[in-house]
Amino acid sequence: MTKELDWSNLGFAYIKTPFRYVAKFRGGKWSDGELTTDDTVTISECAGVLQYAQTCFEGLKAYRTEDGRIVTFRPDLNAERMAQSAARLEMPVFPEDRFVCAVERVVAANRQFVPPYGSGATLYIRPVMFASSPVIGVKPAEEYEMRIFCTPVGPYFKGGAKPITIRVSDFDRAAPRGTGHIKAGLNYAMSLHAIVDAHANGYDENMYLDPATRSFVEETGGANFLFVTKDGTVVTPKSDSILPSITRRSLCYVAEKILGMKVEHRPVRLSEVKDFAECGLCGTAAVISPVGKIIDHGEEICLPSGMDEMGPVTKKLYDTLTGIQMGRLPAPEGWVREIK
Ligand code: PLP
Ligand code: COI
């Protein structure tokens, strides 16, 4: 049974669902982990997460397929990235197989909140790990909590597939050799002022540049870029300080191996963006959100695909990826896992 919610009008906002998974790291090992209905956390005021932002998270979705099954998309890659994030932040790694299993338990327990096929909504799953024991000197904590909860969501950008307008940001997101390549909470705290300022000035998102030279495109606050050249090549920016998006890696595979397109993953100069035919933001939350206009300090870069709809290549990629996720198209081996 699916809950009666106004699925087609959901925004990207938190709705509490009944069950979440909790495991605790104490005395050097992870507890067995269990489902609980308690959505609250009690920790010391001096907990590592509160003092020094020792926390990382993940984001993935569960989908209702055309034939009514519930599936997740490549959760093993989220498990792997969470392990990389934890290691970089001196946090204990949560075993990858247990991560996938726990995600499945949470989705199964909250199955009535998996939105119906075709509603435009999905179930967003948020694994999060944080330092729960006190630290006052700057050092890693000794105890940690891993939680996985979920919430039904609609499109990340209001208007869904409508092209958005972004600006080149004067703020930087992640330093070279810093933490841009992991999903650390601190990267997002850093971006809050920039996004509030962007919204206040009428922009939907920020395009961050490489902080060292400010001449290469990095990513936005919550998605990687994907460009299409006028001759139909898919180009995605390469940098050590952007998050290795699972959506972007999947789209590049789809473009190359399924659609037979040319794909380039390479540094992308801001100066070449005006020559692209299409631009999109890709990520779990964003799926592919088309970008119609980029403002670089008063100078407008208008993508030829325009402000009314997605460009044709972006659309093809979008249809193929969501087709795989919703079971309309065959999935490459191991990409889709059914929740029983
Ligand atoms: N870049 C950033 C900064 C993100 O927060 C996200 C979201 O997870 C992405 C890119 C997209 O990554 P993925 O496709 O794995 O969701
Ligand atoms: C995601 O796409 O899963 C993200 O984490 C992006 C955003 C909600 C921060």
- DSSP secondary structure, 251-280, as one string: HHHIIIIIS---EEEE--BGGGGGG-SEEE
pLDDT per residue as tens digits for the range 83-138: 999 999 999 999 999 999 999 999 999 999 999 999 999 999 999 999 999 999 99
Residue identifier of the C-alpha nearest atom 5 of ligand 2: 59
CA distances to 105, 112, 154, 164, 256 from 8, rounded to whole Å, are 26, 16, 7, 20, 32
Structure tokens at 278: 């299409």
Residue 157 Cα to ligand 2 midpoint, Å, equals: 12
Confidence of residue 13 (pLDDT cuts 50, 70, 90): very high
Residues of the chain with CATH 3.20.10.10: 164-325
Closest residue to atom 2 of ligand 1, CA basis: 222
Measured distance CA(216)–CA(44) in Å, rounded = 42
Please give the Cα distance from 26 to 48 (Å, whole number): 14
| pLDDT band with cut points at 50, 70 and 90 for residue 273 | very high
Alpha carbon distance 336, 137 (integer Å): 44
Q: Considering the chain, what percentage of its residues have pLDDT values greater than 90?
A: 98
Atom of ligand 1 nearest to the CA of 246: 15
Mean pLDDT confidence for 3-27: 95
Q: What per-residue confidence (pLDDT) applies to 197? A: 97
Cα 307 from chain centroid (whole Å):
24
Q: Which residues contact 32 (CB under 8 A, 6 or more apart)?
A: 23
Q: Which two structure tokens, joined as six digits, stand for 311? A: 């460009």
Site to substitute for ligand 1 among 247, 250, 317, most atoms within 8 A of C-beta: 247
pLDDT of residue 2: 83
How does pLDDT run across 287-320, given as a tens digit for each residue?
A: 999 999 999 999 999 999 999 999 999 999 999 9
As a whole number of Å, the CA-based R_g of the chain is 20
The ligand with the least distance to the CA atom of 182 is 1
Average pLDDT over residues 58-75: 97
**29 pLDDT more than 90:** yes
* In the predicted structure, residue 172 carries a pLDDT above the cut 80: yes
Query: What pLDDT is attached to residue 326?
Result: 96
Fold of 7-153: D-amino Acid Aminotransferase; Chain A, domain 1 (3.30.470)
Which pLDDT does position 20 carry in this prediction?
Answer: 98
Q: Which atom of ligand 2 is nearest to the CA of 222?
A: 6
* Location of structure tokens 């020792």: 54
The catalytic residues are 183
Which ligand sits closest to the CA of 156?
Answer: 2
Task: Report which protein residue has its CA nearest ligand 2's atom 7.
Answer: 222
Q: Output the residue whose Cα is nearest ligand 1's atom 4.
A: 222
Ligand 1 pocket, 239 CB below 6 A?
no
Q: Whose CA is nearest to atom 9 of ligand 2?
A: 222
Q: How far apart are CA 262 and CA 253, in angstroms?
A: 10
For the chain, residues classed under CATH 3.30.470.10 are: 7-153
DSSP string for residues in 277-317: SEEEEEETTTEEEEEEEEEETTEEEE-TTTTTS--HHHHHH
- pLDDT at position 9 is 93
For residues 228-235, give the mean pLDDT: 98
Query: How many whole angstroms separate alpha carbon 124 and alpha carbon 154?
Result: 9
Residue 161 has pLDDT above 90, yes or no: no
- 259 Cα–ligand 2 center, Å: 26
Q: How many CB atoms lie within 10 A of CB 43?
A: 17
- Which listed ligand is nearest to 126 at the C-alpha? 2
For residues 171-185, give the mean pLDDT: 97
Query: Nearest 5°: phi and psi at 324?
Result: -70, -45
Residues of 101-113 as b/e, b for ≥16 C-beta within 10 angstroms? ebbbbbbebbbeb
pLDDT over threshold 90, residue 255: yes
Instruction: Tell me what the mean pLDDT of segment 177-197 comes to.
Output: 97
- Across the range 274-283, mean pLDDT stands at 97
Segment (H or E) for 60:
strand 60-64
Mean pLDDT of 327-339: 97
- Ligand 2 is surrounded, with C-beta below 6 A, by 59, 222, 283-285
Pocket of ligand 1, candidates 245, 250, 254, 281: which has the most ligand atoms within 8 Å of its Cβ, to mutate? 245
Number of Cβ within a 10 Å radius of residue 310: 23
Name the nearest CA neighbour of 130 among 81, 96, 94: 94
215 by DSSP, 3-state: which?
Answer: coil
pLDDT of residue 4: 87
Q: What is the pTM of this model?
A: 0.97
Q: Phi first, then psi: what are they for 237, rounded to 5°?
A: -65, 140
The CATH code of domain 164-325 reads: 3.20.10.10
Look at residue 3 in the predicted model and tell me its pLDDT: 84
Ligand 2 atom closest to the CA of 221, numbered from 1: 9
Say which ligand is closest to the CA of 252: 1
For residues 5 and 39, give the distance between their C-alpha atoms in angstroms, rounded to a whole number. 21
Using the mean position of ligand 2's atoms as its centre, give its distance from the Cα of residue 283 in Å: 7
